[in-house]
Each structure stands twice: as structure tokens, then as C-alpha cells.
Amino acid sequence: MIDVAKIRGDFPILGRLENGRPLVYLDSAATSQKPVQVLEAEARFYREHNANVRRGIYLLAHEATELYEAARRRVAEFLGAKPEEIVFTRGTTEALNLAAWALGETRLSPGDRILVTEMEHHANLLPWQEVARRRGAELLAIPITAEGELDLGALRRLLDGRTKVVAVAHVSNVLGTINPIPLLAEEAHRVGAVVVVDAAQSVPHMPVRVGELGADVLAFSGHKMLGPTGIGVLWARAELLGAWPPLLTGGEMIREVWIERATWADPPARFEAGTPPIAQAVALGAAVEYLENLGMAAIQAHGRALTAQALEGLLSRPYAEVYGPRDPEKRGALVAFNLKGVHPHDVATLLDQEGICIRAGHHCAQPLHRRLGLSASCRASFYLYNTGEEVEAFLAALDRAWEALR
């Protein structure tokens, strides 16, 4: 069990009043709020240790480099990975673009197949569209069932010797579905495909150990897990990273440079051209420390309890339509829904007037919404600072919105 009252004291923004009411922030799947420990770690870096990394020979530069690399080691430990397999990127989107590009260069030929799913965020779809176009590969989506889960029978039919990549979300940012990555990886590896996991909605909310997951590549963002914006992680198995060419070239990613050519540094430096997001990496390290102190299993249990409460409340309201699995055990900490016949923007606007922040739109998952026969949906998402009272306030506000908009 986590002590939510104590945790809330660490998040200055939660003290904000909206029209005299306390802020109820139910949009952590878009970006999480930040505790003072993270804000201070970033400020302390700039106040006391700021220098560029990997280039200065003075003490201050060594300190900055050591803090940056310590953050990498902390992230690696958090995932059960090796530090040299952790590449800092700007976020999930950049990590997936890098992975898609590099796999395109090293693994994909005309006629090869890339599998994604119908529930992908655009960040794990468009990079594959581009690489498929560039390499003459075929891009297909594993369909979902009526329950909002992956159709594993269809996956088995689509997986064949031509399949070189299977790219899938660990947790859907709309349906909330937790996809069975170990099972999927086993099937994909049987045909020699590389498994790329978009972990933007899982790493912040549940224990994720790369060894147990069985994936080959994993991407996530710092800003959804209490860290700053502008920092994310690409993890890939050392054998893959070692074979990949860099996407960005420039300073600090080289071994030797001549006018007409260059050789690359080993990973991870090979993929971190230019000045990296140093203070952001250090603050991400502080975010990981904060999460580890609470325990990822306890954080997941809290998110699940709030999700169960929200699901039960929504399912008991005849005016609401809920998307994704009914069983909270099969879900991450979010619920997407609609009030029948009401535009999601109207719902979100009325809730905003009560200080309640939810997201409304297509959540960067247009093919999924099309598959569900929708143009948009509302989404409430929860994190370690949310309370059962907030979920109740949200459900009561929905009743008022329905009365006003029906």
C-alpha cells in the first residue's frame, strides 16, 4: 500500500485551485505531474554541477558526466538491463523512430513483413509506415477482439518467415489493455522476428524487467513517470544496438573523423549525437528513485484499485460506453469512455469547469478509433497521487455533465 496523502505533499501543483476547487488531475497518461524531489534534482544539477558531458577535462565536467552516467545506470537497474543498452532519447517517439530506422537499415528488405496492432499510438505506427515505404516492406496490423484484446489467433496467422519485426504497445493508451508480450515474443522469435515494445504506458505504472518481458527493443518517456519532458529511453539488446548505424550524426558519437568519412563510437554514445538532455536525464534518475522507493508493485496495485473503481462506476451508468477490457486486472491505469451521443470535448469542457482534467480526442490513435466506430473518446487516467475521492468526484461530475448535455 502506498501512502497517497503523504505522496500528494510532494507534488506542489496538486495544491492548485481551479475556480476555488482543488485540481483533480486525471490525465497522467498524457503527462504525469512532478514531485519536488525531481524538480530539485534538476535545479540542483544546474545550480551546482552544470557542464557539458563527455568532453571537458575539468572537475565540473567530470561531475556532470558522472551524474549523467549514474542516471543511465539507475534506469538500467530499474529495467534489469545493462547500462550500455540504455540510450537516452527525447522520448518514446524519438526512440521508436530510431529503432524503426535502424531496423530498416539492418533487417528489412523488399517483401519483408512488419506487424503492428490495431491499437497502436501513432508513435508506434508512423515510423513503421515510413520504413515500410522506404524498404518496400509490407505493413500489417494484428486485429483486436470485441473485448479490446489482441486477437492471438490472427497473430499466429499473420506471423510467417517474412515477418522481421513485430511492434506492439505494452499497454494501450486508449483501451488500457495489457498485451501479453512474453507470449507474443515467444511466437515472434519462433519465426526470427524482432519484438519492439512501446512501453510508454507500462513502465511508469508496473514492474517491467526486460529479461522477463522477452522483447528485443523497448521505448518509453520520462515525462509520464514523474520525470521531465525532453528525456526518454530506448533499450535494445546489445547485439542489436551494436549492429545499428546512427540516425543522427555529429559531435560525441564518433570514434574517428576524416573529411570524407567517420567511424562510430560504441553504443550508447553512437546514438546520442550532440549535447544530450543532461539535466533531464539526472532528473529522470531522481524520478526512478522516487518510484523505486514506493515500489512498482504497490504503484500498480494503487492504479488498479482506482481503475476498478472508475470502471465499476462507469459500467453502472447506462449513459456511458466503456472501451477495452472489463476486468481491471487486464488493464493499465486508465479508462476511455463516451457519454452516449455526446461529443467528448463537451464532456471534458464541463468537467474542466469543476477543476477535473480528463483528455478528450483521438489520443493519437486514429486507426483504433476508426476500428471502434468512433471519431473520439474521453479518457481518465490515474497515477500514484490520485485518490478514491477524486474518482468519486469525477463520476459525480459525469452525472451532472450527462444531465446538462443529454
Residue at grid coordinates 473518446 = 377
Residue (28 or 65) nearer to ligand C6P, CB: 28
Residue (4 or 30) nearer to ligand C6P, CB: 30
Interface with ligand C6P by CB under 6 A: which residues? 29-30, 91-93, 121, 123-124, 169, 173, 198, 200-201, 221, 359, 363-364
Alpha helices in 230-331 (DSSP H): 238-243, 278-294, 296-315
**Rounded alpha-carbon distances, angstroms, from residue 131 to 96, 99, 102, 138, 219:** 11, 10, 9, 10, 17
Question: What letter does residue 152 receive in the DSSP assignment?
Answer: H
Q: Which of 158, 305, 364, 374 is catalytic?
A: 364
Dist CA 47 CA 329 (whole Å): 44
Dist CA 383 CA 204 (whole Å): 9
Residue (231 or 265) nearer to ligand C6P, CB: 231
Min dist. Cβ of residue 195 to ligand C6P (A): 16
Q: Is 357 among the residues known to form the active site?
A: no
Dist CA 47 CA 397 (whole Å): 43
Residue (265 or 360) nearer to ligand C6P, CB: 360
Min dist. Cβ of residue 23 to ligand C6P (A): 18
Min dist. Cβ of residue 127 to ligand C6P (A): 11
Q: Output the nine-digit C-alpha cell for 310.
A: 472508475
Min dist. Cβ of residue 122 to ligand C6P (A): 8
Dist CA 114 CA 217 (whole Å): 15
Are the C-beta atoms of 161 and 190 separated by less than 8 Å?
Answer: no
3-state secondary structure of 110: coil
Q: Output the nine-digit C-alpha cell for 210.
A: 526486460
3-state secondary structure of 260: coil
Min dist. Cβ of residue 222 to ligand C6P (A): 8
Residue (95 or 253) nearer to ligand C6P, CB: 95
Residue at grid coordinates 563510437 = 265
Residue (206 or 265) nearer to ligand C6P, CB: 206
Q: What angle do CA 233, 112, 217 make, to 5 degrees?
A: 15
Q: How many residues does the chain have?
A: 406
Min dist. Cβ of residue 311 to ligand C6P (A): 18
295 in the Ramachandran plot: left (φ > 0), alpha (ψ -120 to 50) or beta?
left
Dist CA 248 CA 271 (whole Å): 7
Q: Output the nine-digit C-alpha cell for 330.
A: 487486464
**Rounded alpha-carbon distances, angstroms, from residue 160 to 47, 112, 133, 145:** 55, 10, 20, 21
Min dist. Cβ of residue 136 to ligand C6P (A): 26
Alpha helices in 316-381 (DSSP H): 344-352, 366-371
Residue (76 or 199) nearer to ligand C6P, CB: 199
Closest alpha carbon to 336 in 359, 356, 357, 313: 359
Active site residues: 364
